[in-house]
């Protein structure tokens, strides 16, 4: 039976995901997956050999869910559904992660310039032994970016900590000529899929 204001853990540090959940009236409690000597190694976000982008983003999302369950147990927190998510940018079958520095970010932006790429966000909800996962995939066409435009964008600092070195909700929104798919999925939490998944766990919007 659904309840109006259930407790939900959000295992993500992303302020954008928190804002999107609040936007649709979902009440949640942040769950930070801090390093803990009692817990196993952190989620391995290095793609496996030959791993396809869709398989990769789902695997990482499910591993985050498993780590979140372990964190709940170790901290003796009250059991409740946990929402995890992972977003990747992929072009020509290659996965673009988060940049290590400005030079790396510039290389990624050059690779996206004037081309189409995909943004995939996997979301998972886990409670006890039950885990359900959904994937949102969107196609984005970028404008051609010259070196001055890339340099100015890097000066904003927005590239750091973002898959593919850009965030559509910021200055880089001006780079997008066309978006086919889910805007909120590109931001990091596809709301349609999220709501449908949470409903299956008895969680409804406000």
Catalytic-role residue among 42, 44, 86, 92: 86
Burial level of 34, CB count in 10 A (0-12/13-18/19+)? Answer: exposed
150 conformational bin, left if phi > 0, alpha if psi -120 to 50, beta if neither: alpha
Residue 189 token pair: 């939490």
- What span, in angstroms and rounded, lies between the C-alpha atoms of 26 and 196? 13
Residue appearing with tokens 């959000």 = 10
Angle between helix axes 15-23 and 191-199 (nearest 10 degrees) is 70
Per DSSP, the three-state class of 135 is strand
Give catalytic status of residue 102 as yes or no.
no
- What span, in angstroms and rounded, lies between the C-alpha atoms of 198 and 71? 21
CA angle 166–145–168, rounded 5-degree value: 25
- Give me the active site residues, please: 86
């Amino acid at each position: 039976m659904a309840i109006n204001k259930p407790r939900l853990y959000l295992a993500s540090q992303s302020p954008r995901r928190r804002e999107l959940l609040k936007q649709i009236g979902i009440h949640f409690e942040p769950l930070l997956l801090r390093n803990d000597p009692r817990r196993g190694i952190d989620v391995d976000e290095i793609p496996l050999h030959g791993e396809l982008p869709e398989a990769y983003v789902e695997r990482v999302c499910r591993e985050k869910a498993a780590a979140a369950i372990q964190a709940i147990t170790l901290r003796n927190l009250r059991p409740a559904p946990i929402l995890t998510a992972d977003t990747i940018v992929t072009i020509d079958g290659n996965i673009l992660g988060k940049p290590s520095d400005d030079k790396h970010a510039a290389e990624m932006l050059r690779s996206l310039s004037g081309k189409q790429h995909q943004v995939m966000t996997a979301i998972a909800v886990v409670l006890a032994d039950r885990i359900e996962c959904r994937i949102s995939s969107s196609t984005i066409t970028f404008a051609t970016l010259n070196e001055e435009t890339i340099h100015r964008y890097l000066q904003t600092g927005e590239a750091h900590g973002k898959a593919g070195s850009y965030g559509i909700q910021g200055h880089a929104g001006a780079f997008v000529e066309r978006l086919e798919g889910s805007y909120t999925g590109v931001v990091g939490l596809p709301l349609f899929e999220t709501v449908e998944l949470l409903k299956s766990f008895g969680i409804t919007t406000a």
